[in-house]
Amino acid sequence: MLCLHYLAPIAFGLFSLVSAADNSSTTVPIPPSLDPWYTAPQGWKCKPAGTPLRVRPAPGNISAVVKGAASAYNVMYRTSNSHYEPSWAVTTLLVPQTPNPKALLSYQIAYDTHHLDDSPSYTIYSGLATDAMAWELVLTSGLFINLPDYEGPTCSFGAGITSGLATIDSVRALLSLSDELGLAADAQYAMWGYSGGALASQWAAELQESYAPEMNFAGMAIGGVPINATSVIRDLSGTPPAGLAFSAIWGLTSQYPGSWDELLKRMKTEGPMNVTGWTDAVKKSTTETATIFANQDLSEYFTNGFDFLYETLFSTIFYRDGTLGHSGTPKMPVYAYKAIQDEINPIAELDEVIAQYCHDGANILYERNTIGDHAAEGLNGAYPALFWLQSVFAGTYGSTYNTTGCTIRDVTTSYSDFSS
């Protein structure tokens, strides 16, 4: 890409980060597909990754929709796609009512979508059903919450590289704006995510050392992470959440030009499950596709079933961008939790990746819950994760948890043990 450095300052000189136009146009939240604010400003590709491109007070009345939030900002920032080429994304920063300026938690929401208007910066106004409980808890304890739309404008659900880089760059962008946002310049920052949100977090952790070596995450809590896109797609197919597999196939191919069209060539043209129904679904919301694909065996859409997953074109993509455990070792302390009975992705795949990280010198507490399935563990593991993160921010981590090596244990933890 050609960056005309003598032009860039002119383009950006005309552009103020928090502009009057931004304020006045944002009283009512508008879906990202219709909101002109979700357009990268001229010259953005020439900015370093993590540079804020636009900032606005988030539209609407955030304290009416998020318990514990006093105000919020939207920040658009420069990040990278899965080929390390310029891309952009938007994040939402929630400012707590009683802020602790030294603590920033990047919470990756499991929004699992192929549909731009289901990005958290917008869906936050309709009351997020998925895993909102977790970060609302955190907000009441005074942490600033970063909620990146880490799938980016292409909705690359399951594309781990760009999801991880967009997570990293969202934190970089907020830190560079710390003065304006009320954060301390030396704020500590950590990550948390469950399921699809753990995927983005764990990719960020694997890629951080090579992509953002200057960063120093204080910790990461990851629950119910799906390790291997190929096995997740096979396992989800035919089950109630089969629509997630559709969104993941969309998301992974979205990063590899031409691969979606190649996929369509392998699809049936008639019968109840055909290429027309498949491509029509791309335009529909996550809720709609969840209904369409529920319990469908997605392999039925393809002439040769799931054979395509093992062709070089697709297996290369699904390994490079859809399989954790081969892109780096987390440098920050990690708390990992998963239900032994997790039906979305067998726990053995996480066991293997954790063993690899431990072999490579990571510091991990890994708790395997003897009770509950994938959905239940989102709640069952939330309090232990919260306590772990609180110890990280409070500086009591070292006196509560092992600071080196790995502790792997089976636990029996239920949400009702903590809430009452």
Please state the closest distance from residue 312 (CB atom) to ligand NAG, in A.
13
Q: For 330, phi and psi rounded to 5 degrees?
A: -60, 130
**Angle formed by the axes of helices 242-254 and 286-293, nearest 10°:** 120
Is 360 annotated as catalytic?
A: no
Comparison of 323 and 327: residue with beta carbon closer to ligand NAG: 323
Residues at the interface with ligand NAG (CB under 6 A): 18, 20, 23, 57, 61, 63-64, 228, 230-231, 270-272, 274, 276-277, 323, 365, 401-402, 407
* Min separation Cβ 142 and ligand NAG, Å: 19
**What span, in angstroms and rounded, lies between the C-alpha atoms of 210 and 30?**
36
* Contacts for 116 with CB less than 8 Å, ≥ 6 apart: 31, 32, 33, 153, 155
Which residue lies nearer to ligand NAG by CB, 183 or 365?
Answer: 365
* Contact of 240 with 289, CB cutoff 8 Å: no
- Give residues with Cβ within 8 angstroms of 297, minimum separation 6: 237, 238, 242
Q: Catalytic pick from 106, 170, 195, 231? A: 195
The CB-of-233 to ligand NAG minimum distance in angstroms stands at 9
Measured distance CA(383)–CA(105) in Å, rounded: 15
* Closer CB to ligand NAG, 13 or 272, in the complex: 272
Closest approach, Cβ 109 to ligand NAG, in A, equals 22
What minimum distance in Å lies between the beta carbon of 284 and ligand NAG?
A: 11
Q: Report the residue number whose CB is nearest to ligand NAG.
A: 277
- Whether residue 35 lies in the annotated active site: no
Catalytic residue among 112, 131, 321, 374: 374
* Inter-residue contact 76 to 161 (CB < 8 Å): no
Structure tokens at 226: 């799906």
Q: How far is the CB of 304 from ligand NAG (least distance, A)?
A: 16
Nearer to ligand NAG, 61 or 176 (CB): 61
Q: How far is the CB of 119 from ligand NAG (least distance, A)?
A: 22
**Minimum CB distance to ligand NAG, residue 405 (Å):** 7
Say how far apart CA 147 and CA 129 lie, in whole Å.
15
In whole angstroms, how large is the CA radius of gyration of the chain? Answer: 21
Residue 36 or 271 having the CB closest to ligand NAG: 271
> Is 374 marked active-site?
yes
Neighbours of 390 (CB within 10 A): 17
45 versus 320: smaller Cβ distance to ligand NAG: 320
Residue 31 or 57: the one with the smaller Cβ distance to ligand NAG is 57
The C-alpha torsion from 36 through 38 and 41 to 42, rounded to 10°, is -80
Choosing from 35, 112, 321, 342, the catalytic residue is 342
Among residues 64 and 129, whose Cβ is nearest to ligand NAG?
64
Instruction: Write out the two tokens for 377.
Output: 């563990």
Catalytically annotated residues: 195, 342, 374
